[in-house]
Structure 1
Amino acid sequence: MTDPAGAVRPDAPIHDVAIVGGGAVGLLLACLLGARGRDVVVLERRTEPPPPGAPSRAIGVHPPGLKVLDHVGIGDAVRERAVVIREGRVTCEGRTLGAMRFPRSGLVRSLPQREVEALLEERLEELPDVRVRRGVEVTGLRDRGTHVVVVGTQAGAEVDVPARYVVGADGVRSGIRSLIDARWRPRGRGATYVMCDTRDDTGARETALLHFEPTGVVESFPMPGGLRRYVARVRRRPSVLDAPTVAAIVEARTGQGFDTDAAGEPTAFDARQHLAQPIAAGRVALVGDAAHEVSPIGGQGMNLGWIGAQHLSHELEAALAAGAPLDAFAAYERARRGAAIRAMRQAAFNMRMGAPVSGLRLRARNASVRMLGLAPTRALLARAFTMRWL
């Protein structure tokens, strides 16, 4: 149940788990634990959920992520609302370099993260032992030996939230990560992209289109409601960022623009990769983007966070059943660090393939893409891009 205002009483019982961050990963973890009957509180800084039409960077629901959503009872709703992506097609300068059709068991589904979060919120309303407290700004952690007190403010008043374990699911700019003195280590190089959603006039409603052009990649993906998302790599952020600017970039590279009148507000972002060290300390663990920032190129971050939440829910359940010992997260840390490194390597490969290139390097890159599109490499590539390696 949602409690937008009330502060925690001094005599409040100790929660099993306090989750800081009410995004897609934090809400999923709360659902997993709540379904087991655990007493969970979610502390979210925002006072209201994002509106349904709010922009959302993550849209890809991969097969392993969908399997986790099935565990909390919203998988069928996601299937109903999402658009299925059945194939991917790679072109360069108007020529097809390769195509990949995903098997039925490996279909990717496109649904904005905001819509998944709304489904998770609805599921939480059915779980009596889970509370979502909005408007809480976490400022500190107090270790009491047998539990941790999460310190914060809500509506100008100080609140103390005691819990046997605390999970930081508060994103790339995680405050919990700072509070446990975890380092935020960069891995590899970054890149800059612009993104815009508009009406889909491609006629390829179930196809991801990847234009590996000499001046940089343009990717586009189908979305619900007859929309398509365009993502283009750029050398630097445009001084004027509007739909006509993004459409001009797309048209200059692919020969086809898009309807700017039907477009939403474009955004620019820097794709970077970081890994927290440590991912857990004592009674506090990090999950999702708080633990690892993976480039959104390839759409792995949200799904990786869900799988991490599922793993963490098992570890938390075992620890709580054993009397809530200290340092319960060693196995979780090892596994999630390995998974994050694999995802980052794949994301780095994706970014290299879409970088600006010319001359001999362009021909070599295109030849590599053609080879990857041949059997049996094609099946392995499809497995990698749909995250079935997890």
Structure 2
Amino acid sequence: MDGDSPAAMSTGGDLRRCRIMKQADVVVVGGGPVGLFAGLSLLQQGVDVVVLEARAGGSAGSRAIGIHPPALRCLEQLGLIGAFLEAGTVVREASVFVDRRPLTRLRFDGCDPQHDGVLMVPQQQTERLLAEPLQDAGRISYGVRVDSLESTADDIVLRGDGAELQVRWVLVCDGRHSALRQALRVGMPVQAYAHGYIMGDFPDATDFGAAAAIFLGRQSLVESLPLPQNTRRWVVRLRSPQNACTADEIAAIVGQRTGHGLDAASCTMTSAFAAEQGIAERLRKGRAILLGDAAHVVSPIGGQGMNLGWLGAAALIPLLTQILNSTDPAAPALSAWERQVRSNWQRARRRAEANMFHGRPLRCPQLHRALMHLMLDTPLRHRFVRHYTMDGFT
């Protein structure tokens, strides 16, 4: 391939080494799950696209894990569903406990015509599967930092490392604290909730198998989710956020609330995070479009964030491909897309808040147990399952 083609760029370096990107139609800034998904979708549409990631490589951790049926359909369109199913664990049921006592089992049968569960894949594996086709095509570059951008009527100017690059469109996927969103002077008001969460991945010593487990009670929520390679994610709700946590801390709380013992010495990941929600004041400015956490955030409880970003990208890419190949005005189609993304975000926000409501400390577990029986052991069960699996998102 010609050395002046963007497809020749795959190794790391600063922005000055990327002058060949002047021939790219679209640059995706950010190589996390949403940026990689958008980049690969564009590549498969035949668009000249380059993904730039400031890090030296992909994620080493397993933070985002849940892929819901609407997002699984997106992976089918990319031809990656088989690879993802092989790399993950499908959760088809969840056991619910109140004060350690079994309440019911939720089965996800019939939640989707094609996918009857939620697929759990560690984030590093998700990024690997999405990045490999981009790397094979030479369309991703690690270690390249973009500090600012300027959007004009006809193009986008990217700046960094003392260099400038001009491209037709930029997809901003550089995360919750997006520097490029700030450079565009687009605000994103964020509401933080009072409580927080800590989580860790431990060897699975339970008998839950491929099922999830949800523990409710006087001491608040614990979630337990299966991962590949006999590993289990444990998520603990706290009364207030904290900046860090230890495996010993997680193991102690899980043991106290659920009775399950965890091997803290074998923990492979810990994380502490706050619950928050917010959406950017606008999702497009000129030829820059915000996606993923750069565009919106919801509480991680329910695992909707990455899925929401993928759905937004999947709806955008056909429109952007058409815009690139047409002289028709872009504004009407992109305005309709933004309305759809905002609608999905509102739905995700409401569902996340419902999940957090059910996970709060219970003052009267007996009453809550009766209410949960009403919800989960009656025809309302199907509605709850649809809620849990992001049914209805487009």
Asked if Structure 1 and Structure 2 have the same fold, meaning a TM-score greater than 0.5 normalized by the shorter chain, the answer is yes
Give the alignment partner of residue 215 of structure 1, picking from 219, 228, 234. 219
| Partner secondary structure for residue 37 of structure 1 | coil
Instruction: Give, in whole Å, the separation in 1 of the partners of 2:79 and 2:54.
Output: 26
Distance 1:380 1:10, change over 3 A: closer
Q: Does 1:146 align with 2:157?
A: no
- Of all paired residues, the percent bearing the same amino acid is 37
Instruction: Give, in whole Å, the separation in 2 of the partners of 1:363 and 1:274.
Output: 35
Q: 2:64, 2:122 within 8 Å by CA — same for their partners in 1? A: yes
1:19 corresponds in structure 2 to: 28
Instruction: Give, in whole Å, the separation in 1 of the partners of 2:354 and 2:20.
Output: 53
Residue deviations 1:315-370 (CA, integer Å, cap 9, x gap): 211211213745452111110011001001100111111111313xx444333221
Distance 1:149 1:224, change over 3 A: same
Equivalent runs, 1:328-347 vs 2, <5 Å:
329-347=334-352
Instruction: Give, in whole Å, the separation in 2 of the partners of 1:121 and 1:12.
Output: 18
1:63 corresponds in structure 2 to: 69
Instruction: Give, in whole Å, the separation in 1 of the partners of 2:285 and 2:76.
Output: 30
1:36 corresponds in structure 2 to: 45
Of 186-195 and 87-96, deviating more is 186-195
Residue deviations 1:42-78 (CA, integer Å, cap 9, x gap): 121112223xxx2222111111111111222221001
Q: Does 1:131 align with 2:139?
A: yes
Equivalent runs, 1:265-344 vs 2, <5 Å:
265-323=269-327, 325=329, 327=331, 329-344=334-349
Q: 2:22, 2:165 within 8 Å by CA — same for their partners in 1? A: no
| Partner secondary structure for residue 230 of structure 1 | strand
Instruction: Give, in whole Å, the separation in 1 of the partners of 2:328 and 2:154.
Output: 8
Q: 1:106, 1:386 within 8 Å by CA — same for their partners in 2? A: no
Instruction: Give, in whole Å, the separation in 2 of the partners of 1:9 and 1:246.
Output: 44
How far apart are 1:264 and its partner, in Å? 2.3
How far apart are 1:148 and its partner, in Å? 0.9
Q: 2:65, 2:121 within 8 Å by CA — same for their partners in 1? A: yes
Give the alignment partner of residue 114 of structure 1, picking from 124, 127, 133. 124
Give the alignment partner of residue 77 of structure 1, picking from 78, 83, 90. 83
Q: 1:147, 1:163 within 8 Å by CA — same for their partners in 2? A: yes
Superposition TM-score, scaled by structure 2 size: 0.90
Q: 2:206, 2:260 within 8 Å by CA — same for their partners in 1? A: no
| Partner secondary structure for residue 55 of structure 2 | coil
Instruction: Give, in whole Å, the separation in 2 of the partners of 1:71 and 1:152.
Output: 34
Give every structure 1 segment of 4 or more consecutive aligned residues whose post-TM-superposition deviation is greater than 4 Å. 8-12, 237-240
| CA RMSD across the alignment | 2.0
Give the alignment partner of residue 249 of structure 1, picking from 250, 253, 256. 253
Distance 1:375 1:9, change over 3 A: closer
1:372 corresponds in structure 2 to: 375
Instruction: Give, in whole Å, the separation in 2 of the partners of 1:332 and 1:293.
Output: 18
Distance 1:89 1:143, change over 3 A: same
Distance 1:311 1:280, change over 3 A: same
How far apart are 1:373 and its partner, in Å? 0.4
Of 17-26 and 255-264, deviating more is 255-264
- What runs of 5+ residues in structure 1 fail to find an aligned partner? none
Superposition TM-score, scaled by structure 1 size: 0.91
Counterpart residue identity of residue 49, structure 2:
V
Counterpart residue identity of residue 73, structure 2:
K
Distance 1:103 1:240, change over 3 A: closer
| Partner secondary structure for residue 207 of structure 2 | coil
Instruction: Give, in whole Å, the separation in 2 of the partners of 1:16 and 1:376.
Output: 50
Q: 1:190, 1:273 within 8 Å by CA — same for their partners in 2? A: no
2:99 corresponds in structure 1 to: 93
Counterpart residue identity of residue 137, structure 1:
R
Instruction: Give, in whole Å, the separation in 2 of the partners of 1:224 and 1:115.
Output: 11
Q: Does 1:381 align with 2:384?
A: yes
Give the alignment partner of residue 356 of structure 1, picking from 361, 379, 386. 361
Instruction: Give, in whole Å, the separation in 1 of the partners of 2:329 and 2:143.
Output: 30
2:5 corresponds in structure 1 to: none
Counterpart residue identity of residue 278, structure 2:
H
Instruction: Give, in whole Å, the separation in 2 of the partners of 1:256 and 1:72.
Output: 39
Q: 1:190, 1:272 within 8 Å by CA — same for their partners in 2? A: no
| Partner secondary structure for residue 356 of structure 1 | coil
Q: 2:193, 2:274 within 8 Å by CA — same for their partners in 1? A: no
Give the alignment partner of residue 49 of structure 1, picking from 58, 76, 81. 58
Counterpart residue identity of residue 93, structure 2:
E
Instruction: Give, in whole Å, the separation in 2 of the partners of 1:197 and 1:326.
Output: 45
Instruction: Give, in whole Å, the separation in 2 of the partners of 1:295 and 1:117.
Output: 21
| Partner secondary structure for residue 270 of structure 1 | strand
| Partner secondary structure for residue 162 of structure 1 | strand
How far apart are 1:190 and its partner, in Å? 4.7
Q: Does 1:179 align with 2:193?
A: no
Counterpart residue identity of residue 17, structure 1:
V
